[in-house]
Each structure stands twice: as C-alpha cells, then as structure tokens.
C-alpha cells in the first residue's frame, strides 16, 4: 500500500475527482499516481483525508487544478470494475441534485453497509479486503400456495398491455388500478417473465419489509435463484451479498423496499412499484427521496416500463393517468370466487349520547356492541378476525390524578406511551402477571425508553393512571372478552423479531390464530384465506392531522385494511367505528368508491392550490435554543421573500416560519418554512436557501430541505 503524500501539482500529472461519504457539496480532487492503471469511474478508492484514511468513489478524471490547495495522492484503487452501472451513476447525480443532497452522501446511502466508509476502522477493514460480498447466503422459502391456474379477463388484458410496452423497449409509465384481491401480484410475475424473455432485467418494490416475505416466496417459486432481496431487515453481510449478485448479473430481479431503487440492476426493462400510494416510499430523514417518483425517473433514463400498482392510487398518480401522462389499466373485479366485503359504519357518538342520558361518565372504549356481536358470530363459524388500530403500545399516556403530572419525554415535546410487554402472541395466563408499574414508558419519536414508575416523580403519589389504548391493549382485552379464542398482534414493537413475526403471519394464514391485531403493517399485501371480519377500531383517528393529504391517507388505509376480508370464497364483512360518520372520506370508504373520493378530494385541492395543482418544499430548521432557531428561520424566510420581490415572482408562496406541530424532538426545537408554487421557482428558492445555509447559519442549527414532502408534523 502506497504511503499518502501531499505535494504540489507537477506538469503532466493526472487528477481525479472522488466522492467522499461526507457532506461535501462537490467531489474532492486527488492526484492519480499510478502510471500502469486507469482510474475506473465508480470504483472504490482508498484516500487520505487530513490525518486519516477514508474509502471513497472514483468519479472522473479532471484537468481543473483547484487553486491554493496542495493535493494528496490516491493511495489505492480497490475494485477492478465499477460498483455501479453507468446509467445508475447518472441517476444518482439526478436524484442528488433534485433533492438537494450531497452527491457523496447519496452514493453512500445507495450502497450496502460498509462498501464505503468515513470511519477509520471500517475503512481499514474494507481496504484490507476483510469485508467482502458473497460470504452470507440468504435462504428464501418458496410460497406454498398455488397461484391461479388461469388468469381472469382483466388480468389477461393488463398482461397484454404491459407486454406490448416491454417489447417497445422505451419508457412507458403505467398505472395499474386494481381493487384489493384483483390479482395484481400474478400480473407482476407474468410481466417479469415476459421481461426476462426479452433479455432484460427487473426491479420490484414494496413499501414495507413485512410485505417482502410473501412476495419473495411467490417470485422464488417462479424464478428460483434469479431474485435478490434488498431491505434493511437483512444482516449487513446478507445485504452486501444480495447487492453483489445483482451487480454481477447472477440475479436478474431485485425485490425490496424503497432503497432498492438504487439497486445495481443492469439493462433494466421493468420496474414495478406495488402499493404505489404508500407514504413509506418517502424517506423522512437524511436523503429525503421518494422511491415511487424516482422509479419513474430511472425508468425514463433506462428506457424501461414502469408499472405503478395500487387498489387505492395516490391522488397525484391518478391525476396524471387521467390527464394521459400515464397509461391507465383498470382491474375492477376480484379474482373469480371472491367479492368485495360489505362495510358497516358504527357511529360511536350514539353511545356517548346514551350514556349522558343515563348520567353515567362516558369513557372511550374500543369495542362497540356491533363489533362485539360480529366477532362472536365470526368465531362461532370458525372464521378469523382482524382488528386494525394505527397506534401501538398499551396506553397512549400516563399521568398522576393527584397533582396532574403527565409523564413526558425529556428530549421531545411528546407524552410517553406505556408498553407492558412486547410479545406478538398473547396468552390468557399472562394477562394478570404484570402490575400497573411494570413494562416501559417509550417515546415514539426519539426511541428513548424508561422504566414504568410506581409513583409520581412530582408528588410521590401512588395512584398512577393510564389513558388511551393501542394495539397491545386491544390484544389483551380481546382475550378478556373472548377467553376461548387465540390472539396475536403485529406492529413495529413485534417486527424486531423477524422469525417470530413470520411465524405469526404463517400461523394466522393457516388458521391457527383466531384474531390478529395490528397497525398499518397488516393493511396491505397479505392474503388470509379464512379472514372474513375486519374491525376498524378508530377510523377517523388520522383524519384531522395537520397535513394536506390527511383525507387521502385515511381513505387509503381504510380501503386497504377492509380489502383483507373475504378475499376467497367466503364473504367478507367490515365494521368501521367512527365519531365522524358524515365525513366524505368515511362515506366513500364504505362504498369502495375511489372515483367518488378522487373527484371530491381533487375539487378541494384545486381550490386551495394543493398538489397536484402546485408543488411543495418544506424547509425545517432545528437547534438546541428555541429563540435562535426562530430568529434564523425568520431571517431565511425574509431573504427568500426579498429575492422573489426583486425577480417579480408573485405566484410562489412563502408560508411561515412557524413552529412545528412536534415542537421539540431529540432536544432540538424545530421551525419550518413551507414553499408552495411552481417547481422552477421553488428550485430557485432552494438554491438561495442552500447559499444562506453555508453563509449565515451557525453550526448548532441544522437546516433540511424536503422536496415534495408528505410529513409536516
């Protein structure tokens, strides 16, 4: 290994720009000292940086000599081939520019763990070759259920349309609007077969890790070792191995979550984005990309067919399809033998009025008489129940009734949730094994946990009380109401134990568990043959969030979870509990009427100039001192307003700064500025903000630019 040296440029010396996995806006220039080697664009290089060594990426040769800087030499080139196909490099540059994220960091996040690193020890291990792909094999179970022996007429038409697009070998975006249970997965598999027959490769994306198991099993049955799985639930070694199999061409199909949009698939002919409406495709930290949107960009660059599939398409995608920007394929019927479930609305307000008349205190409970009766009937028929609540934990907050003290996270401006036990499978004999002071108090924002205290830290009172409910409480109380039944829950708390999670899904699918309780993780992609009743505990919980797309998200969640019921011969039934039965979102959900919801929602968005009639950029500043964050937020907003005034730009709105709904997260106060308008003007504003970020912000204040945001909380 050559020793790193620092010297002035001599005439005739070659220079290369290299990307480092750090927050540099531009590549750094190094001297290329090897006369017998050519620099390989996209290969890893060992580089000196100050007093340490770092692994970066060789980007390109250059003749531009940075002024006033003494350059260092590249120590070693570590690869004989580039890590990325060339088109993928161009795609990464585009994504980095669009989302205003440093290209070096973008490349680092596109690679598996420890392919490149800025950490001294990791860089040394990589350089020495002790971290290599190909050592850890991922074993996939083949999906045992039979696929449909024949396609329905709608499936055949969808396959025919996609096959025609594949043969043309040019960019062609398609929105596959198929109701839940219409057989979209079978269409994806057949489309992938046609793509491989044409000598091209595929990328299939799903929004949640929990969806990869079933889908990977079905693809495994059809394509054997030609598929590679990519998601963060794998071990680092497994991710490196699967990634390398794609890069070398051993695997032809990449299947994974949002990060798989950067998978090194060469000669890409088909990209499938399943459940394209799902907000999980949007990353909410660091590199804030939307994998659904990037799938369209990558498809355009690679000349690939892009299929966006959903039973409840996003407003944006359906709007583009109606305008002719995407091809629109309808699949309005479930596969033969199955029909959409009936949906019954239960008005929880009637219970409140009745209790007031009887002069009894009203307490919100999760089980209405109608849902209880429906569960009893379903269980008596030896059929299964799914209960949906998008809130985990046992209780949503803990307080002292003596002094009013509420248990809050010290780092975040949120109450702590009480978690009694993080077990997926709940047993009767365990129900009374824990007291009110057992378990943990957890912050759902920073992840900090604390022991559940038996006394109030403020007044030392011992009558600690809990309020609210989450999936854990629903699962435990279900057993109290139905002691002869079996129940399990699935949420983020139980996802950590991957084997147990898969075992629970498998047991429920086989009919070994009577009731499954869960969050949005169970609303999509799963097929349970004997599931006939879905209970939606609190349908309007997400309707009044301070976000422009709250109604859209709620409609999609309700429709998707309702779609789990009655997917085969047995008729499905949905009990939807709500305090807002007149809401158009609730009403259209009951009728399975996406087109009606789309029309109503689009009218409201057009009046308010919300997407798709405008674009958003959210600029968030955070820091340890509230007054400083507020002051610098105001300064940046005023500078952008001044710039627009000089340029005569009037249509773009600059809203704020305002304090975020979640005021403090991880001990940092947060303010945000919302920009609304046309993309061209918004990008001008982002350029100004980036300059201000470098010029006026102190190091204690962080600024993040979120292009096309979905989360404003």
What pLDDT, on a 0 to 100 scale, did the predictor assign at position 24?
A: 87
For residues 13 and 112, membership in a common domain is answered with yes
Within a domain: 143:
no
Cα distance between residue 361 and residue 354, in whole Å: 11
For residues 102 and 182, membership in a common domain is answered with no
Within a domain: 603:
yes
pLDDT in tens, 562-610: 888 877 778 899 999 999 999 999 999 999 999 999 999 999 999 999 9
pLDDT in tens, 626-644: 999 999 999 999 999 999 9
| Pairing outcome for strands 573-578 and 342-347 | parallel
175-184, 390-399, 642-651: least confident range: 390-399
> Would the pLDDT of 58 be above 80?
yes
Cα distance between residue 80 and residue 248, in whole Å: 12
What pLDDT, on a 0 to 100 scale, did the predictor assign at position 423?
A: 67
- As a whole number, mean pLDDT of residues 181-190 equals 93
Domain boundary among 564, 583, 608: 608
Residue 212 tokens read as 């990869």
What pLDDT, on a 0 to 100 scale, did the predictor assign at position 172?
A: 93
What pLDDT, on a 0 to 100 scale, did the predictor assign at position 505?
A: 84
Name which residue leads in pLDDT, 465 or 614: 614
For residues 583 and 679, membership in a common domain is answered with no
Name which residue leads in pLDDT, 610 or 51: 610
Cα distance between residue 494 and residue 522, in whole Å: 12
CA 667 to chain centre: 25
> Would the pLDDT of 360 be above 50?
no
Q: What percent of the chain has pLDDT over 70?
A: 90
Q: How many domains does the chain have?
A: 5
For residues 283 and 419, membership in a common domain is answered with no
| pTM of the predicted structure, to 2 decimals | 0.91
> Would the pLDDT of 474 be above 80?
yes
> Would the pLDDT of 435 be above 50?
no
pLDDT in tens, 265-275: 999 999 999 99
What pLDDT, on a 0 to 100 scale, did the predictor assign at position 358?
A: 43
- As a whole number, mean pLDDT of residues 340-344 equals 91
Q: Which domain holds residue 523?
A: 339-393+471-608
Which range has highest mean pLDDT (125-129, 130-134, 172-176, 428-432)? Answer: 172-176
Within a domain: 144:
no
**pLDDT interval class at 174 (50, 70, 90):** very high
Within a domain: 679:
yes
Within a domain: 147:
no
What pLDDT, on a 0 to 100 scale, did the predictor assign at position 36?
A: 86
The set of residues, in sequence order, having a beta carbon less than 8 Å from that of 215 and lying 6+ positions away, is: 185, 204, 206, 255, 274, 525
What pLDDT, on a 0 to 100 scale, did the predictor assign at position 95?
A: 97
Mean of per-residue pLDDT scores for the chain: 88
> Would the pLDDT of 195 be above 90?
yes
Name which residue leads in pLDDT, 125 or 353: 125
For residues 37 and 157, membership in a common domain is answered with no
Task: List the one residue out of 225, 216, 282, 283 whose CA is nearest residue 255.
Answer: 216
What residue ranges in 33-164 does DSSP mark as E strands?
44-49, 52-62, 71-72, 76-77
Burial of residue 191 (number of CB atoms within 10 Å: 0-12, 13-18, 19+): buried
Domain boundary among 412, 436, 468: 468
pLDDT in tens, 201-259: 999 999 988 888 888 888 998 998 899 999 988 888 899 999 999 999 999 999 999 99
Within a domain: 435:
yes
What pLDDT, on a 0 to 100 scale, did the predictor assign at position 137?
A: 65
| Pairing outcome for strands 487-490 and 515-518 | parallel
- As a whole number, mean pLDDT of residues 140-144 equals 61
CATH of the domain at 68: 3.40.1440.60
Query: Could you give the C-alpha distances from 402 to 318, 408, 441, 658, in angstroms and in order?
Result: 53, 17, 20, 35
For residues 517 and 600, membership in a common domain is answered with yes
For residues 362 and 480, membership in a common domain is answered with yes
HSE-up of residue 38 (Cα within 13 Å, Cβ side): 6
40-44, 131-135, 447-451, 705-709: least confident range: 131-135
For residues 417 and 310, membership in a common domain is answered with no
For residues 563 and 702, membership in a common domain is answered with no
CATH of the domain at 671: 3.30.70.600
Per-residue burial over 102-129, b = 16 or more CB atoms within 10 Å of its CB, e = otherwise: bbbbbbbbbbbbbbbbbeeebbeebbee
For residues 685 and 595, membership in a common domain is answered with no
For residues 536 and 633, membership in a common domain is answered with no
184-197 and 153-168 are packed helices; what angle lies between their axes, rounded to 10 degrees?
30
Domain boundary among 468, 484, 505: 468
What pLDDT, on a 0 to 100 scale, did the predictor assign at position 5?
A: 44
CATH of the domain at 343: 3.40.50.300
pLDDT in tens, 523-549: 876 778 899 999 999 999 889 888 999
Within a domain: 361:
yes
**74 with 32: CB under 8 angstroms?**
yes
CA 509 to chain centre: 25
Burial of residue 222 (number of CB atoms within 10 Å: 0-12, 13-18, 19+): middle
For residues 418 and 528, membership in a common domain is answered with no
**675 with 668: CB under 8 angstroms?**
no
Within a domain: 134:
no
> Would the pLDDT of 502 be above 90?
no
What pLDDT, on a 0 to 100 scale, did the predictor assign at position 448?
A: 85
Residue 575 tokens read as 């009990």
């Amino acid at each position: 290994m050559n020793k790193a040296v620092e010297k002035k440029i001599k005439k005739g010396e070659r220079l290369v720009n290299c990307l480092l996995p750090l927050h540099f806006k531009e590549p750094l220039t190094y001297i290329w000292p090897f006369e017998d080697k050519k620099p390989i664009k996209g290969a890893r290089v060992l580089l000196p940086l100050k007093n340490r060594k770092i692994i970066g990426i060789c980007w390109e040769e250059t003749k531009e000599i940075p002024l006033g800087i003494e350059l260092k030499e590249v120590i070693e080139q570590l690869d004989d081939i580039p890590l990325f196909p060339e088109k993928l490099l161009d795609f990464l540059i585009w994504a980095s520019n669009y989302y205003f994220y440093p290209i070096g960091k973008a490349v680092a996040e596109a690679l598996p763990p420890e392919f490149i690193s800025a950490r001294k020890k990791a860089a040394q291990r990589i350089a020495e070759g002790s971290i290599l792909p190909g050592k850890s094999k991922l074993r996939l179970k083949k999906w045992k259920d039979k696929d449909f022996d024949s396609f329905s007429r709608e499936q055949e038409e969808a396959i025919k349309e996609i096959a025609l697009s594949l043969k043309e070998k040019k960019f062609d975006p398609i929105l596959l609007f198929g109701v839940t249970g219409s057989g979209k997965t079978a269409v994806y598999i057949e489309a992938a077969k046609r793509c491989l027959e044409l000598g091209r490769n595929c990328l299939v994306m799903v929004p949640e890790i929990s969806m990869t198991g079933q889908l990977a099993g079905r693809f495994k049955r059809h394509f054997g070792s030609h598929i590679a799985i990519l998601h963060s639930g794998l071990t680092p070694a497994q991710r490196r191995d699967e990634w390398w199999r794609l890069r070398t061409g051993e695997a032809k199909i990449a299947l994974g979550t949002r990060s798989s949009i950067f998978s090194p698939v060469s000669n890409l002919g088909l990209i499938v984005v399943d459940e394209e409406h799902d907000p999980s495709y949007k990353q909410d930290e660091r590199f804030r990309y939307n994998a659904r949107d990037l799938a369209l960009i990558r498809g355009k660059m690679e000349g690939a067919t892009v299929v966006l599939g959903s039973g409840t398409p996003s407003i944006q995608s359906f709007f583009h399809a109606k305008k002719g920007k995407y091809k629109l394929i309808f699949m309005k019927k479930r596969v033969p033998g199955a029909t959409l479930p009936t949906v019954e609305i239960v008005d929880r307000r009637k219970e409140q009025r009745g209790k007031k008349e009887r002069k009894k205190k009203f307490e919100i409970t999760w089980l209405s008489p109608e849902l209880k009766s429906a569960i009893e009937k379903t269980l008596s028929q030896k059929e299964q129940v799914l209960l949906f609540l998008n809130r985990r934990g046992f209780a949503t907050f803990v307080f002292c009734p003596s002094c009013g003290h509420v248990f809050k996270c010290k780092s975040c401006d949120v109450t702590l949730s009480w978690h009694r036990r993080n077990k997926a499978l709940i047993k009767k004999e365990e129900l009374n094994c824990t007291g009110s002071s057992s378990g943990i108090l957890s912050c759902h924002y920073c992840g900090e946990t604390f022991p559940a205290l038996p006394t109030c830290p403020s007044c030392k009172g011992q009558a600690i009380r809990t309020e609210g409910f989450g999936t854990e409480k629903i699962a435990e109380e279900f057993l109290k109401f139905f002691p002869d039944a079996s129940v399990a829950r699935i949420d983020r708390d139980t996802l950590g134990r991957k084997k147990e999670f898969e075992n629970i899904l498998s047991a429920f699918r086989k009919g070994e568990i009577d009731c499954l309780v869960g969050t949005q993780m169970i609303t999509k992609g799963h097929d349970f043959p004997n599931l006939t009743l879905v209970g939606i505990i609190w349908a309007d919980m997400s309707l009044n969030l301070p976000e422009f797309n709250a109604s859209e998200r709620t409609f999609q969640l309700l429709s998707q979870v309702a779609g789990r019921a009655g997917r085969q011969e047995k008729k499905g039934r949905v009990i939807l509990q709500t305090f807002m039965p007149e809401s158009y979102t609730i009403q259209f959900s009951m009728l399975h009427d996406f087109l009606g919801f789309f029309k109503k929602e689009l009218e409201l968005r057009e009046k308010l100039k919300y997407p798709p009639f405008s674009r958003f950029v959210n600029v968030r500043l955070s820091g340890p001192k509230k007054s400083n964050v507020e002051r610098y937020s105001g300064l940046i907003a005023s500078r952008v307003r001044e710039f627009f005034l000089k340029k005569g730009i009037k249509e773009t709105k600059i809203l704020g700064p305002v304090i975020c709904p979640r005021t403090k997260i991880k001990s940092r106060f947060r303010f945000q500025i919302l920009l609304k308008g046309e993309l061209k003007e918004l990008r001008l504003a982002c350029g100004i903000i980036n300059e201000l970020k470098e010029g006026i912000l102190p190091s204690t204040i962080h600024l993040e630019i979120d292009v096309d945001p979905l989360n404003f909380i």
